[in-house]
Amino acid sequence: MKRSLGKILFVLLIATGQLWGAYQWSVLEKPESLYVGQSGVVRYECQFDTSAADYTIAFKPNENEMFKVSILTQQDRIVQGKRIQTFDVLIAPKHVGKIDIKFEALMRHTTFASIENASIGRDNVKKYDFNDEKVFLPSITIQTKENPVALTGKLTFEVRSDAKMVRAHEPFHLSVIVRGEGNLDEMTPFELNIRGVKVFAELPQKSLTPSAQGFEGEVSQEFALVANESYTIEPLSLSYFDTAKNQIMTLKSKPIYVEVGEGYEFSSLLDVPEISDYGTLKRYALYLFFIGLGVGLNEAVRWGWKHRPVRQKRTFWDEAKTSKELVMLLSLSGDKRYDEVIRALEDEKMDVREAKKRLILQEEKQ
């Protein structure tokens, strides 16, 4: 088999890359300390001596009882002929104290023989062969500080409501919205306990995207309140640790007074209205007039339909003026039904008018 010069050069290039394909892991950025629940970014970098096209990196950090972890972003680029792959890892401590973080990655290298076989087109090659090497990334230590509140980040708090007056047993709608960035995925639902008020609450709806602080977006929760007496919704509060000011912040809403008006009583719907005043009499007289007008129009339509002129069906004997003409037309039709009428006309027992009536009756019976 004749080998092409291009394929041979490709194999030599990969072979050279394999000889010089050394790599080195390093930590470019990390937080020195974090509060419990606060997220921080650790940036790992793997730098190769060549373009390292024959290497792939499998890096899937696992969380444990001390911290939560996820990959925020990763970037693979070539700088001056050297491959550099960067991973931004999000760390969120769960407990107070010192956290030692030691991750590992799998360096997968495609062998020279596998590349050569694939490049020269050998038929017995089914797949590439790999050499896998497990490497330990540089270890880091993060000091975790106490945080008495569950939420961290930079947040805003808003409470929206309907009009401040409703009828008895009519629902009053309330919305609670938290926006910003932080560990919004850890937010717990609000609870409303108001005496004499039945509360219907939906589960929080979260619209979040990953960010350097954990997540960014908003969390909203809807309430429907039902009561038969006026009540006050006490201020709602949200406490979180502000990572920019390094202090606990508490956001509060204003109290909301809900006025509940009288509802419709079942008994009132059956009460007979007062008709002593002129306006009421006039209104009922107008109702009666329209009712009578409707009944009269209905009867008029029925009478008109009953007495409408009915257009008679035209027949072939309509043009006959004399008995002879009628006998001739009926005879030419060849219909045996007309024999009786024909004999009556010939015997002068029936005139043209009576014959036509008899014929019409016969047609209606058919």
- What's CA 59's distance to the chain center, in Å? 34
Q: Using the 8-state DSSP alphabet, how is residue 314 labeled?
A: P
pLDDT mean across residues, the chain: 82
Residue 209 has pLDDT above 70, yes or no: yes
Q: What is the DSSP string of 154-178?
A: EEEEEEEE--SEEETT--EEEEEEE
Q: How confident is the model at residue 278 (pLDDT cuts 50, 70, 90)?
A: low
pLDDT at 12: 43
Q: Is residue 24 within 8 Å of 47, Cβ to Cβ? A: yes
> What percent of the chain lies above the pLDDT cut of 90?
52
Q: Count CA atoms closer than 13 A to 75's CA, side-chain side.
A: 9
Residue type, 222: E
d(CA 220, CA 274): 50
d(CA 226, CA 166): 9
Average pLDDT for 19-48: 89
335 vs 253: which has the higher pLDDT: 253
Average pLDDT for 278-293: 74
Q: How confident is the model at residue 189 (pLDDT cuts 50, 70, 90)?
A: very high
Residues 6 or more apart whose Cβ sits within 8 Å of residue 35? 93, 144, 145, 146, 147, 152, 241, 243
Print burial letters for 262-275: b (CB count within 10 Å at least 16), e (below 16): eeeeeeeeeeeeee
Residue 151 has pLDDT above 90, yes or no: yes
Residue 184 has pLDDT above 60, yes or no: yes
pLDDT at 9: 43
Residue 250 has pLDDT above 90, yes or no: yes
Beta bridge partners of 27: 44
Q: How confident is the model at residue 15 (pLDDT cuts 50, 70, 90)?
A: very low
Q: Is residue 226 within 8 Å of 192, Cβ to Cβ? A: no
pLDDT at 341: 80
138 vs 131: which has the higher pLDDT: 138
What are the Cα distances from residue 143, in Å, to 66, 91, 136, 248? 12, 12, 21, 19
Q: How confident is the model at residue 282 (pLDDT cuts 50, 70, 90)?
A: confident
pLDDT at 13: 43
Task: Give the CA radius of gyration of the chain.
Answer: 48
Six-digit token string for 179: 């926006």
Residue 14 has pLDDT above 70, yes or no: no
pLDDT at 128: 54
321-361 pLDDT, tens digit per residue, is: 787 887 787 777 777 777 888 888 887 778 888 887 877 77
Q: How confident is the model at residue 23 (pLDDT cuts 50, 70, 90)?
A: very high
pLDDT at 2: 47
Q: Using the 8-state DSSP alphabet, how is residue 3 labeled?
A: P
pLDDT at 157: 93
Average pLDDT for 269-279: 55
Residue 19 has pLDDT above 50, yes or no: no
Q: How wide is the angle at C-alpha 230 spanned by C-alphas 224 and 235, nearest 5°?
A: 65
Q: What is the DSSP string of 338-360?
A: GHHHHHHHHTTSS-HHHHHHHHH
338 vs 66: which has the higher pLDDT: 66
d(CA 297, CA 304): 10
167 vs 264: which has the higher pLDDT: 167
Q: How confident is the model at residue 277 (pLDDT cuts 50, 70, 90)?
A: low
317 vs 322: which has the higher pLDDT: 322
Q: Is residue 71 within 8 Å of 41, Cβ to Cβ? A: no
Six-digit token string for 38: 């606060």
pLDDT at 130: 73
282 vs 153: which has the higher pLDDT: 153
Query: Tokens 């409707």 — which residue?
Result: 294
